[in-house]
Structure 1
Amino acid sequence: MNKYMFMVFAGACSYGILSTFVKLAYQAGYTIEELSVTQASIGFIVLSTLTLIQGHHKKSATGSIPTSAWLYLLLTGSCIGMTSYVYYLSVKYIPASVAIVLLMQFTWIGILLEWLLFSKKPTAIQFVIIGVIWVATIMASGIAGTQNSHLPVIGILYGLLSALFYAVFILINSRLKYAVSSLTKSSVMIMGSAISLIIFTGHQLVAVHHFNIQLLKWGAFLALFGTIIPPLLFASGIPKTGHFKSSVLMTVEFPVAMCCSWLFLNEHISMLQWIGVVILLLAIVGIKRKNA
């Protein structure tokens, strides 16, 4: 594994640990509104600062964002912000190991969105793989057994909604191609994330009383591993690694999240679930390969 592949791998691992530590933050008494807004705000401040520093040292290399691109970048950032928000909400109601299974449904949801919006009809093989993903999801979530057979519907719906937002984020982001630095692009997107979260949760933030140094520590941790490290690693690694290899490497987010929930939250994961995880990963790799 060369250094660029390792960057993509490490970025995906960084994403994978988030659900577990959000659940730990819940146990410490913090709310989803506090965590998501603090994470996005700290991430925006750090990325904007890095962008300014880069612009100071490379005045002619950073480029500028066309006016027409601002709206799309902010919209893309809003999608990733809402992905985190509803994903964290799902973790509040269902095990983290199940929430990550639902999030991974973005793969086939993205294909259906391309079909609906751009008339890009899935192939017969893709339909088969989508069916395999559904079966593997039932296995990996534990719904087929007794451990997670009575999950709250609201948690499942939040998990699927996070997958929808993530699919929209990837779809929009894949169609944005401007000659600007990855730092500049990332900082504008995270600005959109922070703005959307503040607007969406502002009325609830007024009533909370947990704005303290411990919240800043949780927010900084989540921002580091969810808002700062992955975009920077992906921006450097993905162009050198290529779309297909990057897509395959990024599926490591799934087993990392499952392992973290098992190690830190003591969530039970049956053998049937692990088999479902393996099948789901193979299906995701297959569907990515058909899209490569």
Structure 2
Amino acid sequence: MTYWKSVLLVLVGACSYGVLSLFMKQSFQYGFTPYEMSSSQLIFGGLIMSIMALFFSKQRLRLKYVLILVPVSLMMASSSFFYHQAVSQMSASLAIVFFFQFTWIGVLLESIAKRSWPSPAKWVSIVMLGLGTVLASGLGESGLQTISLTGLACGLLSGATFAFVIFFSGRILADMNPYLRSAISISLAAIMISIVYPPTFLINDRLWEGLLPFGLLVALFGSVIPIFCLSVGVPRIGNGLATILSAAELPAVVLLSSFVLHETVTWSQWGGVLMILAAIGVPQIKWKQLFMPSQSVHKKSA
């Protein structure tokens, strides 16, 4: 797979999280709880991905694969758990700001692993992402009110664990068939989250009261598509860039809120969206060729 196809895959995976928020909001309006949606997201996601692995994976399931992928699944389940806890303790806009700290955490993890300092372009991108996130989330207008320390800790932990999901996606069994890898990691995460949130909706009538279609939708856009895209794309473009590209989730949320849910989006929020999109493009620019074109032309003529 080419570099730009891998970039596109990671962007698709990130934007699918934005679609996820749309269905999550609608499910809450129908009376379903964050715990039910979080559990159904991973349970149905693991089931869908396991069926796809049966048809599209030539690799066989082995116990060693399951054991090796435990860290990925643990971070996946932890990210879901901590984010839902953060949302229950503070406003959604503030929770997503803390969650988006995964951008600089992910770049830091890559720097530690490679023992090299991030490039100036990545630093510029991180700063722009931070400012854009504050604006796009609406935090700049609502301001900081009384913040729960528990919510703050859970928000930061949700971002940190998601950064590890991206980090492990590029390093643990990176050459494994993505269908089988995604099926194992999501299914393991479902088992882990079920320990915290017992899936009682599987034995009562909640599934037939409207939970089933929402559960399948959040599983598709919250687990199947993003985890598969990360499994394929991250090993080919690197953890740092994948982390930055994953910030496309927030612009997707704002766009869907405006055009689908018809929510009011301020000019400052649109400015934040544009800043995030610009920040995603910064690492893609060949700065040396941009500022020293004469040197490249000289080399071609020689």
Q: TM-score normalised by the shorter chain: which range applies?
A: 0.7 to 0.9
Q: 1:130 to 1:249 in 2, by over 3 A?
A: closer
- Which residue does 1:185 correspond to in 2? 181
Please report the TM-score for the alignment, with normalisation by the length of structure 1: 0.76
- Which residue does 1:34 correspond to in 2? 36
Considering only CA atoms, is the larger Rg found in Structure 1 or Structure 2? 2
1:150 partner amino acid: Q
Q: Choose which of 55, 58, 62 in structure 1 pairs with 2:59.
A: 62
1:134 partner amino acid: G
Cα deviation, residue 113, structure 1:
3.2
2:250 partner amino acid: F
Q: Choose which of 138, 145, 153 in structure 1 pairs with 2:134.
A: 138
Cα deviation, residue 107, structure 1:
1.5
Q: 1:272 to 1:218 in 2, by over 3 A?
A: same
Q: 1:275 to 1:66 in 2, by over 3 A?
A: same
- Which residue does 2:15 correspond to in 1? 13
Secondary structure of the 2:135 match is helix
- The 8 Å contact of residues 106 and 166 in structure 1, kept in 2 or not, is answered as yes
- Which residue does 1:150 correspond to in 2? 145
CA distance in 2, matches of 1:288, 1:81: 31
- The 8 Å contact of residues 105 and 160 in structure 2, kept in 1 or not, is answered as yes
Q: Report the more deviating stretch, 121-130 or 220-229.
A: 121-130
CA distance in 1, matches of 2:127, 2:241: 23
Q: 1:218 to 1:119 in 2, by over 3 A?
A: same
CA distance in 2, matches of 1:142, 1:70: 41
CA distance in 1, matches of 2:75, 2:40: 17
CA distance in 2, matches of 1:287, 1:81: 30
Q: Choose which of 236, 257, 262 in structure 2 pairs with 1:261.
A: 257
- The 8 Å contact of residues 42 and 186 in structure 2, kept in 1 or not, is answered as yes
- Which residue does 1:252 correspond to in 2? 248
Q: 1:93 to 1:287 in 2, by over 3 A?
A: farther
- The 8 Å contact of residues 94 and 139 in structure 2, kept in 1 or not, is answered as no
Structure 1 position 86 matched with structure 2 position 86: no
How many residue pairs get matched? 279
- Which residue does 1:278 correspond to in 2? 274
CA distance in 1, matches of 2:134, 2:211: 35
- The 8 Å contact of residues 86 and 161 in structure 1, kept in 2 or not, is answered as yes
Q: Choose which of 18, 21, 24 in structure 1 pairs with 2:26.
A: 24
Secondary structure of the 1:257 match is helix
Long gaps (5+) in structure 1: 56-60
Please report the TM-score for the alignment, with normalisation by the length of structure 2: 0.73
Q: 1:184 to 1:165 in 2, by over 3 A?
A: same
* RMSD of equivalent CA atoms: 3.8
- The 8 Å contact of residues 83 and 165 in structure 1, kept in 2 or not, is answered as yes
2:100 partner amino acid: M
Cα deviation, residue 70, structure 1:
2.8
Cα deviation, residue 15, structure 1:
1.9
CA distance in 2, matches of 1:270, 1:110: 29
State the Cα deviation string for residues 68-100 of structure 1 (Å, max 9, x = none): x43331220221222233334444555655554
State the Cα deviation string for residues 233-262 of structure 1 (Å, max 9, x = none): 5556x3898559877765432211112233
CA distance in 2, matches of 1:137, 1:249: 13
CA distance in 2, matches of 1:168, 1:218: 27
Q: Report the more deviating stretch, 79-88 or 36-45.
A: 79-88
Cα deviation, residue 49, structure 1:
2.0
- The 8 Å contact of residues 169 and 231 in structure 2, kept in 1 or not, is answered as no
Q: 1:169 to 1:5 in 2, by over 3 A?
A: closer
Trace 1:195-274 onto structure 2 (pairs within 5 A): 195-202=191-198, 211-213=206-208, 214-233=210-229, 238=233, 242=237, 250-274=246-270
Cα deviation, residue 219, structure 1:
0.9
CA distance in 2, matches of 1:230, 1:141: 21
Q: 1:10 to 1:169 in 2, by over 3 A?
A: closer
Structure 1 position 106 matched with structure 2 position 102: yes
Q: Report the more deviating stretch, 129-138 or 92-101.
A: 92-101
Q: Report the more deviating stretch, 70-79 or 215-224.
A: 70-79
Secondary structure of the 1:62 match is coil
- Which residue does 1:58 correspond to in 2? none
